Amino acid sequence: MTPEERAAAEAVIDLDAEENACPACGGRIPGEARMCPECGLVLG
């Protein structure tokens, strides 16, 4: 994985971040949330 690919992947979802970006809709998901408040996507 190149540094560029790694950065792109981390931009999509970073479980260590306080907020995650939903991989489905791009909405912000609070770090403690287990589903996207925007579209309802359930995270791992």
We find the least distance from the C-beta atom of residue 23 to Zn ion, in angstroms, to be: 8
Please report the beta strands in the chain, taking only residues with DSSP state E, as ranges in sequence order.
19-21, 28-30
In the chain, how many H helices and how many E strands? 1, 2
- By CB under 5 A, the count of residues binding Zn ion is 8
Rounded least distance, CB 26 to Zn ion, Å:
7
Within 12-41, which residues bind Zn ion (CB under 5 A)? 22, 24-25, 27, 36, 38-39, 41
| Alpha-carbon span 38 to 26, nearest angstrom | 9
- In the complex, the residues that contact Zn ion under the rule CB under 5 A are 22, 24-25, 27, 36, 38-39, 41
